[in-house]
Amino acid sequence: MPETTIDTSAEAIAEWLTGRVAYYLDRPVTELQPDVKLVEYGLDSVYGMSLITEIEDRFDLELESTLAWDHPTIAAITGYLHGLVGQR
């Protein structure tokens, strides 16, 4: 069975990440802005860790547990992830 290829373009990462953040915050995707800090939306440490685990699983990475605090916005996380996986 062929492997499924994940789109690692910045746009695809941002779209997927926005959807996951919206899920954890129980908000519509359209309410989320890429440059607003996730803590301002109410993302707590439990959901932050769950998000990091999903990112690791999706992109086959090992990330620091502080990712969502070191890169506090969807745009910042997208840029960081794209730098790691965008060239695969």
Which domain, by its residues, includes 40? Answer: 10-82
Q: What is the pLDDT of residues 7-42, one digit of tens each?
A: 999 999 999 999 999 999 999 999 999 999 999 999
Distance CA 66, CA 61 (A): 14
Euclidean distance between CA atoms 44 and 66, whole angstroms: 12
pTM for the full model?
Answer: 0.90
Report which DSSP code applies to 29: G
> Tell me, what's the pLDDT at 41?
94
- Within-domain flag for 2: no
Instruction: Answer yes or no: is 35 within a domain.
Output: yes
Looking at residue 88, its pLDDT comes to: 59
Beta carbons within 10 angstroms of residue 77's beta carbon: 24
Q: What is the pLDDT of residues 39-86, one digit of tens each?
A: 999 999 899 999 999 999 999 999 999 998 999 999 999 999 999 997
In the chain, how many domains are there?
A: 1
The owner of tokens 């990091």 is 52
The enclosing domain of 20 has a CATH number of: 1.10.1200.10
Residue 3 placed within a domain? no
pLDDT at 79: 97
Domain assignment present for 1: no
Residue 5 belongs to a domain: no
- Tokens 């690692």 sit at which residue? 8
Instruction: Please determine, for residue 87, whether its predicted confidence score (pLDDT) is greater than 80.
Output: no
